[in-house]
Structures are given as C-alpha cells and as structure tokens.
Amino acid sequence: MVAQVFVDDSGGKGHSRNFFLVGLVSTSERWGRFSAEWRACLDQRPSIQLFKMRDAASLSGEFRHFSVEQRDARLRELAQIINRHAEFVLWTAIDLDAHAQTWGELPKPLSEVYFWPFHTLIMGACFDLWEECGWREPFEVIFDEQLVFGERARQWYPLVQQILRRSYPEEGKILPPTPQFGKDDDHLPIQAADLFAWCLRKNTDDPEAKSFEWLLEELRDVSQSTYCNYYDLDRMSAVRAESTRLITSGEVPQDLIVEARLIRRHRKK
C-alpha cells in the first residue's frame, strides 16, 4: 500500500486571475476502490466518458445532454465518492498579476507559472504525510499530463529534493523518487482533482459569483492540508528577496549552486 497524490491544475495567463494546482491524497488501495466507483458513476445514463468540471459547469462536451438537475445530481454522487476515499486535499495557488511582477521576471523555467506550485505542492504533501498521517515510506505523486511545463519543472526536482533533504533529513526520506505524469482518462483520481481545482480557482477569481460553492460544501469529509499555500504579491516578493539573500550571502552550499547552473546550461543545449 502506497500513499499517492493525484494532481490537476486550473487557470492560466489570459483567462483567469489565479492559477491553482490541487492534489488529492489517499492510499493506493483506497484509490483503487475510488476508481471503480467513479467509473461506475460516470457510466450511468446519460454516460460520461471523461469528466471535466468546465464541461459540467457549462453543460457542454460530455455534459451536453444533461439538464441542470441531472448535472447537479451527478456531481453530488461524484462528491460522495471523493468523500469516501480521499484523505485530504492540498493546493498551491498564485496571483497571476503578482507573478508577472516577481517570479515572472526570473529566467526560465523559474519564471513559468507552473514551476513553483509544482515543487511547493510536493513539499507540502511530504510534510503533511509525515506530520499528520505518520507516513514513513516514499509516496507517489502523479500530475495531469503537462508535455512542456511539467517536464521543465521535473528537471529541477532532483535539486529541490537535495535541498529539502539537507534541511529536513527525516522528512526528506519519504519524497517520491521522481514525480510522474499521466492522462486523466488513465488515472481517474486526476478527474477528482480537476473538480476541486476548478471550483477553488473560480471562487478565488470571483468570490461574489459563488460558482458551485455548494459543491465544495458537499466535499466536507475531505480535510484541507495545513500546507495549502496562496502566493500574493507580498509573499512572492518576500520569497524572491530571501532566495537572493541566501545565494549572495553564501548560505546556499556551493555544490547546489553549481548543480543549478548545470541544469540551466543543459536546458539551453
């Protein structure tokens, strides 16, 4: 039995105010039961081949033949399946305008919207599993497929892994060997993460709209991690300033600085 984190994203430059990366955490055994129940629910008539929350919200795509009442009833059923099997939800979000003024000015891929949430979510899952769940074996993390930004972020994971293990040697032992990527039609828990990510992002973009706020209330049995993070302008500016200070002061070990330069040089080739 393995602890597994399934992750999906919502939002991006040009069509939202915030970007969210959301992970749902449970054990492989519970995720197996979840997947069987989720698939059976989707197969009910009218059937759904691939769940996307944006389709449910707009009654388009796989939900084009649904009435509002049918859609809401199906969403409640899916929420109950998540309630039964997900241990907790973890998210990292950033204000996109603030990102453009801070992290967005860094060299690629550090400037990419996906980069920092990718690493902070993995670290948050590590600490929560260690502290709250008593987990002592390496966990797995599976992100929705990201052919460009995901692979660029993953190239830096070994360095981030080293940094975390030096600062937190015990907790660092349970970090995944490498993050994985998969399609949401192959990994059904990613579809559940999509539901969470869309609802959280829409209600953060426009709190007054209360977009499917009732659906988040249906998910009351899924606890929220204490390592959820929202990065606004002040926080991103502080992180950037502290990172610069650590490097210039010599507090970052030289071998890690050299490795970062090698990764950057390799990407340019």
According to DSSP, residue 9 is labeled E
Distance of CA 196 to the CA centre of its chain: 10
Mention every residue, 6+ apart, whose C-beta is less than 8 A from residue 19. Answer: 9, 10, 11, 12, 93, 94, 96, 99, 113, 114, 117, 201
Which pLDDT belongs to residue 244?
Answer: 78
Taking 80 as the threshold, does the pLDDT of residue 261 lie above it? no
**What percentage of the chain carries pLDDT values higher than 90?**
80
SS (H, E, C) the chain: CCEEEEEEEECCCCCCCEEEEEEEEEEHHHHHHHHHHHHHHHHCCCCCCCCCHHHHHHCCHHHCCCCHHHHHHHHHHHHHHHHHHCCEEEEEEEEHHHHHHCHHHCCCCCCCCCHHHHHHHHHHHHHHHHHCCCCCCCCEEEEECCCCHHHHHHHCHHHHHHHHHHHCCCHHHHCCCCCEEECCCCCHHHHHHHHHHHHHHHHHHCHHHCCCHHHHHHCCCCEECCCCEEECHHHHHHHHHHHHHHHHHCCCCHHHHHHHHHHHHHHHC
Residue-averaged pLDDT of the chain = 92
Look at residue 262 in the predicted model and tell me its pLDDT. Answer: 62
Distance CA 207, CA 196 (A): 15
Which of 6, 2, 9, 11 has the alpha carbon at shortest distance from 23? Answer: 6
User: What is residue 263's predicted lDDT score, i.e. its pLDDT?
Assistant: 62
3-state SS class at 140: strand
**pLDDT of res. 245:** 82
The amino acid at 257: I
What's the pLDDT score for residue 248?
A: 74
Mean pLDDT throughout 196-216? 94
Q: How does pLDDT run across 135-149, given as a tens digit for each residue?
A: 999 999 999 999 889
Check: CB of residue 12 under 8 Å from CB of residue 19: yes
Residue identified by tokens 């797995």 is 140
Query: For the residues 225-233, what does the mean pLDDT come to?
Result: 97
Average pLDDT estimate for 50-58: 98
- The predicted pLDDT at position 148 comes to 87
Report whether pLDDT(267) > 60.
no
Give residue 260's pLDDT.
62
Average pLDDT over residues 75-93: 98
Q: Specify the pLDDT at position 147.
A: 84
Percentage of residues in the chain having pLDDT higher than 70 = 92
Which pLDDT band, with edges at 50, 70 and 90, does 86 fall under? very high
Predicted TM-score of the model (pTM): 0.94
How many Cβ atoms are within 10 Å of 141's Cβ, its own excluded?
23
Whether 76 has a pLDDT exceeding 60, the answer reads yes
pLDDT attached to residue 242: 83
Mark 26-50 as b/e (b = at least 16 C-beta within 10 Å).
bbeebbeebbebbeebbeeeeebee
| 90-136 pLDDT tens trace | 999 999 999 999 999 988 888 999 999 999 999 999 999 999 999 99
Give the per-residue pLDDT at 117. 96
The torsion of the CA quartet 51, 227, 168, 116, rounded to 10 degrees, works out to: 60
Q: What is the pLDDT of residue 199?
A: 96
Residue 163's pLDDT band (cuts 50, 70, 90): confident
